C-alpha cells in the first residue's frame, strides 16, 4: 500500500458513506483510479466489508458487557460446540480466543441485566468451567479506525 491507498482507507474508515467522487477529490486522484484502488483493496482483503455503525442505546441495547470464559475442556469437539453456541446468540458482537488466564473474551450488547441473564443462560449451554462479566459504565474511547501509518 502506498500513501494514496492509506489516505483513501483513512477517509473510508471515518465515513463509509463518502461517494466515489468525494473520495477521489479527498485523495486528489481521478474517479476511475479511485475505483480501481478500492476494488484492489477489496480483492486483496484489506477492506473486509463496509458497514453502518449504530448507536446501541438508540436500538435498545445500551449495556455493553465483556464476558470472560474459562474452560477445562481443551479439545476440538468442545471448541466447535462453543463456536456454534456463541454464533447463535443475539447480542454477541465479538468473541476472541485468548492467551493468558482466560480462554475466551466475549463482547456483547444487551438491553439490561435481565437481557444479560438471557444471554448468560444461552451461553452456558456450551458447558463452561468459569464465567465472569464486567459491565461498561462509560466508554472513554471507542473507534473502529485502525492505525494506517505503520509499515
Q: To the nearest whole number, what is the mean pLDDT of the chain?
A: 96
CATH T-level fold of 57-135:
Alpha-Beta Plaits (3.30.70)
Confidence of residue 86 (pLDDT cuts 50, 70, 90): very high
State yes or no: pLDDT of 5 exceeds 60. Answer: yes
Nearest residue to 104 via CA among 92, 88, 116, 114: 92
The answer to whether the beta carbons of residues 85 and 29 sit under 8 Å apart is: no
Confidence of residue 151 (pLDDT cuts 50, 70, 90): low
CA 103 and chain centroid, separation: 18
CATH number, span 3-43: 1.10.10.10
* 19's grid cell: 461517494
Confidence of residue 115 (pLDDT cuts 50, 70, 90): very high
Confidence of residue 66 (pLDDT cuts 50, 70, 90): very high
Confidence of residue 149 (pLDDT cuts 50, 70, 90): confident
Domain ranges within the chain, ordered by starting residue: 3-43, 57-135
State yes or no: pLDDT of 12 exceeds 60. Answer: yes
The answer to whether the beta carbons of residues 108 and 67 sit under 8 Å apart is: yes
Residues in the chain: 151
Nearest residue to 106 via CA among 139, 67, 61, 65: 67
Fold matches, 3-43 and 57-135: no
The dihedral of CA 98, 103, 108, 112: what is its sign? negative
46-62: string of b/e by CB count within 10 Å (b at 16+)? ebeeeeeeeebeeeebe
Confidence of residue 108 (pLDDT cuts 50, 70, 90): very high
Amino acid at each position: 500500500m502506498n500513501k494514496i491507498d492509506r489516505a483513501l482507507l483513512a477517509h473510508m474508515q471515518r465515513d463509509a458513506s463518502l461517494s466515489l467522487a468525494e473520495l477521489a477529490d479527498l485523495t486528489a486522484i481521478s474517479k476511475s483510479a479511485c475505483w480501481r484502488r478500492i476494488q484492489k483493496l477489496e480483492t486483496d482483503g484489506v477492506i473486509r466489508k463496509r458497514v453502518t455503525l449504530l448507536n446501541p442505546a438508540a436500538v435498545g441495547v445500551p449495556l455493553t458487557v465483556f464476558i470472560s470464559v474459562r474452560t477445562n475442556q481443551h479439545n476440538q469437539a468442545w471448541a466447535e460446540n462453543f463456536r456454534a453456541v456463541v454464533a447463535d446468540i443475539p447480542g454477541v458482537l465479538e468473541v476472541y480466543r485468548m492467551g493468558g488466564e482466560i480462554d475466551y473474551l466475549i463482547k456483547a450488547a444487551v438491553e439490561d441485566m435481565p437481557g444479560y441473564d438471557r444471554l448468560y443462560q444461552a451461553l452456558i449451554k456450551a458447558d463452561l468451567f468459569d464465567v465472569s462479566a464486567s459491565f461498561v459504565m462509560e466508554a472513554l474511547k471507542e473507534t473502529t479506525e485502525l492505525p494506517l501509518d505503520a509499515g
